[in-house]
Amino acid sequence: MKAARKSAAETAWISETAQTLGFELCGVAAAAEFPELEKMQDWLARGYAGEMKYLYDPRRTDLRATMSGVKSVIVCAINYNSPRPYSTEVALSASSDDMAHGWISRYAWGSDYHEVLWSKLNGLVGMMRERFSEPFEARASADTGPVQERILARHADLGWIGKNTLLLNQKMGSWMFLGTILTDLDLTPTVASEDLLPPDLCGTCTRCIDECPTDALVDPYVMDARRCISYLTIELRGPIPEEFR
């Protein structure tokens, strides 16, 4: 017997429960063949992924390859913004012009975000098991599985994908850690229709493109990761090319 779809009230409960666990945002999307996932193949064909071979995993464009019976995706977000503009007082007070100094990205100032997200996501799954009587499958991912979190977050009503290729939210900007839960529960999506998803509010603004120090944003909504500082300092296994130092 096919299980009935969970009501919108249950989706609201999931979102509210996620917030009690420390997530600022939580939404639900139906597992579908999102058009953005198809565009990823063209991006990969251009070589923009660089050495990130894991992005070629075909499961990234097909949720059912990860969970055959998946029906819904729960997407949660935590804000990692901080009022301090730079990472260390040392970087700000360097007394010599020839002193090498750098900035530590804000996402690395606290505990390992993978562990933080995992704990909260698994906590949410546990509370769902207590609430729902029927057995169900759930698989949590915190930037560790073959899941395109930004695209799923977009369809779960957490924001829109900006010209800088990041998920943007009007209240939180782009300062978000994203975690997902794939499940075979048939949950009512947070947004009833694609037409009701958050609009793209970038408008005619191109500030992110104009300010990118390595010109990694080769077109609006398109990043060449091989030129991105984040890629060069985290993903690239060899030396950073001279032109980006």
Is pLDDT above 80 for 53? yes
What does the pLDDT read at residue 86? Answer: 55
Cβ atoms of 226 and 183 within 8 Å: the answer is: no
Domains in the chain: how many in total? 1
Give the angle 169-150-189 at the CA atoms, nearest 5°. Answer: 80
Give the span between the Cα atoms of 63 and 32, in whole angstroms: 8
pLDDT at position 196, please?
A: 83
Q: Is the pLDDT of residue 132 over 80?
A: yes
Q: Is residue 159 part of a domain?
A: yes
Predicted local distance difference test score (pLDDT) of residue 88: 54
The pLDDT, as a whole number, for residue 99 is 59
pTM for the whole structure: 0.90
User: Given a cut of 60, is residue 245 above it in pLDDT?
Assistant: yes
Q: What is the pLDDT of residues 60-116, one digit of tens each?
A: 889 999 999 999 999 999 999 877 655 555 555 554 555 556 677 888 888 899 999
Q: Where in the sequence is the domain holding 200, given as residue range(s)?
A: 8-83+104-237
Q: What is the 3-state secondary structure (H, E, C) of the chain?
A: CCCCCCCHHHHHHHHHHHHHCCCCEEEEEECCCCHHHHHHHHHHHCCCCCCCHHHHCHHHHCHHHCCCCCCEEEEEEEECCCCCCCCCHHHHCCCCCCCCCCCCCHHHCCCCHHHHHHHHHHHHHHHHHHHCCCCCCEEEECCCCCCCHHHHHHHCCCCEECCCCCEEECCCECCEEEEEEEECCCCCCCCCCHHHCCCCCCCCCCHHHHHCCCCCEEECCEECHHHCHHHHHHHCCCCCCHHHC
| Percentage of the residues of the chain whose pLDDT score is greater than 70 | 91
Where residue 2 falls among pLDDT bands split at 50, 70, 90? low
pLDDT, tens digit (0-9, with 9 covering 90-100), for 160-218 = 999 999 999 999 999 999 999 999 999 999 998 888 888 999 999 999 999 999 999 99
Note whether residue 213 is domain-resident.
Answer: yes
| Bigger pLDDT: 59 vs 180 | 180
Q: Supply the mean pLDDT for the chain.
A: 90
Cα–Cα dist 161/127, whole Å? 30
- The catalytic site residues sit at 143
Question: Is residue 32, in this structure, part of any structural domain at all?
Answer: yes
Q: Is residue 179 part of a domain?
A: yes
Task: Report pLDDT for 111.
Answer: 87
In a domain, 205, yes or no: yes
Asked if residue 89 belongs to a domain, the reply is no
Residue 212 lies in a domain: yes
98 within domain boundaries: no
